[in-house]
Amino acid sequence: MGEDVLSRWRGRSMAAGWSVAADWWAPEVETVAEAVRDGRDLPRACWALGAARAGAGVGICEGMNDLAELFAVVGAGGPPLAALRSFASGWAEQSFAPIGDLHCEDPLTGLVTAAYLRTRLAQLYRGTARGTCLVAAEPSAPPEELPERLAAALNLATALRRAFPGDETLALLGPVRVGAMTRMDGRLAEKVARLRDSEILYGHRPRVRVRPLPRAYGQALALIRTLSLDP
């Protein structure tokens, strides 16, 4: 794509609040611009751009807003959902590269899925669930725009790991809701307080609920299904 498009794209991003001008250009910028022009390999190009932005320390909201400016420049409307998801996946994989492999994990946040959490519940209820609870966290007001929702999910996942750094099962329960299955011991209140004090998006803190696991396995599954619905 021509230098004029790249120049206008960069200019729009700077005007929209891109934080460090010297960090804007990368080889992946030209790759994405060419993919938009040619109409092919766009998800792959967006994945690579997301990884490059994460490697440069660019936040996911800033990076996705920048990508949207390219589509505005070429008159293509907003980025398609597949492009945004690919960008977010590339950003997340680069950001969470040091995290150990998890089975049945969500590719964006690195947390285990609700399906895997149900498997862990089945294992737990073969013994006893007494003294175990589920700590769920979500934004107090769910963001409406997709970039902000993805950023909120990533920030919630980071906050959950910091609050529960032990052997707890950490799961993505919904699009912007996370949870920790953990013991109700003397340190629980401290961990919950740390999670409540985390900044999720634009200085806002999450809403946190502590739900003791019910006595019956079927009731526990119903609880997970309820929490897995959109907030």
How do residues 154-175 score in pLDDT, each as one tens digit? Answer: 999 999 999 999 989 999 998 8
Q: Which pLDDT value is given to residue 131?
A: 92
Q: Are 178 and 157 a contacting pair, CB within 8 Å?
A: yes
Closest CA to 110 of 168, 49, 172: 172
How do residues 200-214 score in pLDDT, each as one tens digit? Answer: 887 889 999 999 999
Q: Hey, what amino acid is at 85? A: R
At residue 112, the 3 state secondary structure works out as: strand
Q: Which pLDDT value is given to residue 49?
A: 95
168: left (phi over 0), alpha (psi -120 to 50) or beta: beta
**Is a pLDDT exceeding 70 seen at residue 99?**
no
CA distance 210 to 147: 28
What residue ranges in 10-53 does DSSP mark as E strands?
none
Secondary structure (DSSP) of 129-159? -TTEEEEEEEESS---SHHHHHHHHHHHHHH
At residue 218, the 3 state secondary structure works out as: helix
Under the banding of pLDDT at 50, 70 and 90, the label for residue 101 is very low
**Is a pLDDT exceeding 50 seen at residue 38?**
yes
How do residues 67-92 score in pLDDT, each as one tens digit? Answer: 999 999 988 788 998 899 999 988 88
Least confident range of 64-78, 135-149, 173-187, 217-231: 217-231
Residue 121 in tokens: 């519940």
Least confident range of 2-16, 118-132, 156-170, 185-199: 118-132
CA distance 212 to 182: 10
**Is a pLDDT exceeding 90 seen at residue 195?**
yes
**Is a pLDDT exceeding 60 seen at residue 102?**
no
Share of the chain above pLDDT 90, in %: 46
Q: Which pLDDT value is given to residue 83?
A: 92
Instruction: Kindly tell me the burial class for residue 96, based on how many C-beta atoms sit within 10 Å of its own C-beta (0-12, 13-18, 19 or more).
Output: buried
CA dihedral 115, 188, 183, 152 (to 10 degrees): 10
